[in-house]
């Protein structure tokens, strides 16, 4: 059981950490697309003039890094310094955010809310990824 939690926790933490690193890249580059305009429409789902600021993108990157740490620490992959309640309360919050983002994205996409380019990727990648992270994180939360 402990090894399973470590595998689930490590998997979730690595994926979340990768998402955090993508946000760091996105502060400076529209990668993996060629222009900020395409990035805004495909990845963020807004017009270019509505893209989040660099500080806001940095805040998301930090939040994802913290989430990755909480998951890894709660699952026993990393040491958990400080009081246990931080991890016992933090991981359910993280899991809940993934669940809300995943289900919310699916519902909004199926209703056709948003830019068509974004809906395409949200229904096929972003929302399913969040639901997958929910599935990886939920057992860690209850361990």
Per-domain boundaries in the chain? 2-142
Give 76's contacts (C-beta < 8 A, 6+ positions apart).
2, 5, 6, 9
**Tens digits of residue pLDDT in 63-83:** 999 999 999 999 999 999 999
Q: With beta carbons less than 8 A apart as the criterion, state whether 25 and 58 touch.
A: no
Confidence of residue 1 (pLDDT cuts 50, 70, 90): confident
Confidence of residue 143 (pLDDT cuts 50, 70, 90): confident
């Amino acid at each position: 059981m402990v090894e399973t939690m470590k595998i689930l926790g490590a998997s979730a933490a690595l994926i979340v950490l990768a998402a955090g690193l993508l946000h760091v890249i996105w502060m400076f580059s529209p990668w993996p697309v060629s222009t900020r305009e395409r990035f805004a429409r495909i990845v963020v789902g807004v017009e270019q003039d509505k893209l989040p600021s660099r500080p806001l993108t940095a805040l998301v990157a930090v939040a994802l890094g913290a989430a990755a740490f909480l998951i890894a620490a709660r699952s026993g992959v990393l040491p958990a310094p400080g009081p246990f309640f931080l991890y016992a309360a933090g991981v359910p919050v993280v899991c809940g955010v993934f669940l809300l983002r995943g289900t919310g994205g699916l519902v909004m996409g199926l209703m056709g809310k948003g830019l068509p380019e974004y809906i395409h990727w949200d229904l096929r990648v972003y929302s399913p990824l969040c639901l997958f992270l929910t599935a990886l994180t939920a057992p860690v939360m209850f361990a």
